[in-house]
A and B are shown apart, each in its own frame.
Chain A
Amino acid sequence: MTFSVKIFQNEFLAEGAGKVDAIVKVTSTGGPKLAPTADKAVVLVVDASGSMDHPRTKLLSARKGAATAVELLPDGTLFALVAGNHEARCVYPGPGQRLARADATTKSEAVALTSRLQAEGGTAISTWIDEVRRLVEPHTDAIRLAYLLTDGKNESETSEALDDALARATGVFQCDARGVGPEWSVRELKRISSALLGDAGRIAEPSEMEKDFLAFMNRAIGRTIADVRLRVWTPKGSAIELFSQVAPTIEDLTSKAAVMPPLSREYPTGAWGGQEARDYHLSVQVPPDDVGEEKLAARVTLVVGNDVVGQGDVKAIWTEEVELSTRINREVAHYTNQEELAEYVDKGFEALEEKDFDTATEKFQRVFELAQEAGRDDVIESLANVIDIDGDTVRIRPGWQPDDMNKLILGSERTVRVESEDPEGGPSVDEAAS
């Protein structure tokens, strides 16, 4: 597998300016077959709380989805099936057992046991996380991936209990989190997926559950390179103000940096497949230099294990040419707009939670404008469930549902990718005056 790192930016700064924004596009090519063979551990965690019975299709679809996922496991994959309510129970290979290795026998045993998934009790997700950790922790060389499905809020324990479990699991395994039905909390789901380098998603109808299990398994099978990190060097006296994944979803990684003395920081990106494209937004404040001078504002290297597998340079060139320094790079503008969109959705939701309807209305009005600018019809459609737009008048719909908000939040964080030309191939920028 090979990686490429490409930088998109306007490197020109006005005199005295020091903020440099760049989009880092990382792509992998070559496919999984060319990749080194690492063990893979996959754990499926299915909500088995009492609410999964209401309607019963949730539980039935979850059983079916889990069974389909198990059948899809390539032979040799380490796996387990966990049922979660106010406590976690390893359904297969069994309580206290270690991960099973997939073959015809173990898979059919596991599929048979999906019928043991019952709906009863409450929800304490920390116990689910701890159980996955217990199962995968011994397999330090494996790519460790989990899929966690819930239909409700984490109401059987304190918020701190979940945070503690997530802290213990960070760096041990990655976890995608899914909510089904109208009751789950998007904030909780995102806490899980953000901490564990996964993505958060909403399953609108129980009937869509099997498809989502399948999609997860396909992603999991494709992930062949573990522990890929982005290392960002910036010059002395500078500060990284933002380092965020912006495609396929917005995921702020700024606070996840591991400091690498003297001048670098490393951001985890988890495991990669052979045909992936992820984009990142780097915003760095560097000490301004004299007009005419050039500085390296950041050097971004992609690191696998101890090997550097890709590199891109972010530059800063100070100029008096206003035409140059005021240019806005297309990629930076594209993602800045979408980041702003997601931020306003979040602020609007926050205001709604605090029953501050004036602020919420104002924020959602801005969301509407940004979504129009960006051509995000999907966001406008979700927004219409929360606010009523009549010409210039915007008001919160009195009957808005939490699930409408879940859909809006997750939808606004899933970005549309911008097609870019190779930065090396484009026309070079030149000074304008004689």
Chain B
Amino acid sequence: VIDPTPLLCIACGTTAVPGDLYCEICGAPLVDPARAGSPCVACGEAASEIQDGYCRSCGRKQPAARDSLTGTDGNGEVAAVTDRGRRRRRNEDAFAISATPDGRVMAVVSDGVSSTTDSDLASQQAAEAAVVALRAAGDREPADALDDAYRAALEAASNLPDSSGSPPSCTFLALIATLYSVDLASMGDCRAFWLPEEGRPQTLTEDDSWAAAQVTAGRMTVAQAHADPKSHGITRWLGCDADPSWEPRRVQFTAPGPGRLVLCSDGLWNYTPDARDVARAAGVGSPTAIASRLVEYAKGRGGQDNITVVVVAIPCGTNADASKGPPT
């Protein structure tokens, strides 16, 4: 099982669920354990002056656990980073990743729809529920497993209480990969990119967005659509106000050779709309190195939105079954 690092509440010491913002026991804001005992991020005041998550000198709220989370599997075939970015006050993106002993890699990325309350909870719970379903599917057909994952994510997001008349909602992108075989299900505007070691990078997914609809209908070019203020409006989502007839888009892809798969939220692809842009920003290296580099790239370009990146090495699961060769 690959999960983000467990978190400890700095106020009461309780182990918290990864991705939670506040301690379930005492309500204190959770702080990344890597930051526990660190001086203030803003003014450098000693750690002893950090109280309830705020600096007692300059007042700055210290980074919450969910502001920046990383996850990786044991052998480095899949790595994930999610980051609050530079402008949003909380991280409403979430990821969940997992791998089975027989070499199946699973990953989910979800982006909370930021015009709704508690969308951070929607994305978190949808991603967790989806990866649980993917694991429970065992070695069933990827298409069936992804179907289960989508239903589980939809149910998780729909079950959240609507406290303000704008129900919590989120997007969804799930992956199952084994060796060179890649299955995807998506709803909303998270994207998957294929970055081959040799050859032309590809965008594997289509957005359920206003911009995509304009382009598909031939009303606008990609550039025109993305320049429009409405471009970020999504046309499908998960939540209790989602249309029950909606089905996720499905992609079945067989990689022609080794490379990297990148799953991301729009916090990244806003700055890399084309697969070639992603490839340039990604560079080469391990999934961990690429995931961090892409997040830093988006932050360097302004970090307007939350950023989540999952990188999978293809072929994956080779350690589990080395006898399987590349496709012919």
Q: State the CA gap A109–B116 with chains docked (Å).
A: 72
Instruction: Digitize B83-95: 1 where CB-to-A-CB distance is under 8 Å, 0 elsewhere.
Output: 0111111000000
B58 touching A320, Cβ below 8 Å: no
Known: A427-B163, A427-B164. A263 touches B86 (CB 8 A): no
Q: What residues of A have a CB within 8 angstroms of the CB of B54 in the complex? A: 295-296
Q: A295 to B59, Cβ gap below 8 A?
A: yes
* Cβ A434 vs Cβ B60 within 8 A: no
Q: Is A292 an interface residue (CB 8 A)?
A: yes
CA A395 – CA B117 in complex, angstroms? Answer: 53
B30: min CB distance to chain A, Å = 14
| B31 on interface, CB distance cutoff 8 Å | no
Could you say which of A292, A295, A430, A433 contacts B58, with CB atoms under 8 Å apart? A295
Say yes or no: B43 contacts A431, CB within 8 Å.
Answer: no
Interface size on B, residues (CB 8 A): 29
Answer whether residue A409 sits at the interface, using C-beta atoms and an 8 A cutoff: no
Whether B117 and A430, one on each chain, are in contact in the complex, defined by CB atoms closer than 8 angstroms, is yes
Q: Does A391 contact B (CB under 8 A)?
A: no
B59, B85, B113, B166: the one contacting A297 at CB < 8 Å is: B59
Mark the stretch among A133-141, A283-291, A379-387 that contacts chain B. Answer: A283-291
Q: Is B1 an interface residue (CB 8 A)?
A: no
A236/B234 contact (C-beta < 8 A), A292-B84, A431-B114, A433-B115 known: no
CA distance A86 to B49 in the complex (A): 56
Least CB distance, B227 to chain A, in whole angstroms: 16
* Binary contact readout A33-68 vs B (1 if CB under 8 angstroms, 0 otherwise): 000000000000000000000000000000000000
Residues of A near B85 (CB, < 8 A) are 292
**Residues A293 and B59 in contact in the complex (CB < 8 Å), given A319-B89, A427-B163, A430-B117:** no
Contacts of B166 in A (CB 8 A): 430
Cβ of A16 to closest chain B Cβ, rounded Å: 14
- Is there an interface contact between A320 and B87, defined as CB atoms closer than 8 Å? yes
> Which residues of chain B are near A319, meaning CB under 8 Å?
89
Asked if A237 lies at the interface with its beta carbon under 8 angstroms from chain B, I say yes
Chain A interface size, as a band, is: 20 to 34
Check if A292 sits within 8 Å of B59, measured CB to CB: no
Within the complex, what minimum Cβ distance (angstroms) separates B122 from chain A?
12
Q: Does B17 contact A (CB under 8 A)?
A: no
Residue of chain B at shortest CB distance from A294: B61
Within 291-327 of A, Cβ neighbours of B (below 8 Å) are at: 291-297, 316-317, 319-320
**Contact residues in A for B61 (Cβ distance below 8 Å):** 293-296
Q: Chain A's nearest CB lies how many Å from the CB of B20?
A: 16
Task: Say yes or no: is B42 at the interface (Cβ < 8 Å to chain A).
Answer: yes
Q: Are B59 and A427 touching (Cβ within 8 A)?
A: no
Contact between chains at B42 and A292 (CB < 8 Å): no
For A291, what are the chain B residues with a Cβ–Cβ distance below 8 Å? 86-87
Q: Looking at the assembled complex, report how far the CB atom of B48 sits from the nearest CB atom of chain A, in whole angstroms.
A: 14
Q: How far is the CA of A262 from the CA of B42 in the complex (A)?
A: 18
Q: Please tell me if the beta carbons of A293 and B60 are within 8 angstroms of each other in the complex.
A: yes
Minimum CB–CB distance from A105 to chain B (whole Å) comes to: 56
Contact pick for A432, options B43, B59, B115, B118, CB 8 Å? B115
A-to-B contact residues, CB < 8 Å:
233-238, 262-263, 286-287, 289-297, 316-317, 319-320, 427-428, 430-434
Interface residues of B (CB under 8 A from A): 42-43, 54-61, 84-89, 113-119, 163-164, 166, 232-234
Q: List 9 extra interface pairs beyond A235-B55, A235-B60, A293-B61, CB under 8 A.
A: A235-B58, A286-B59, A289-B42, A291-B87, A293-B89, A294-B89, A296-B60, A296-B61, A297-B59
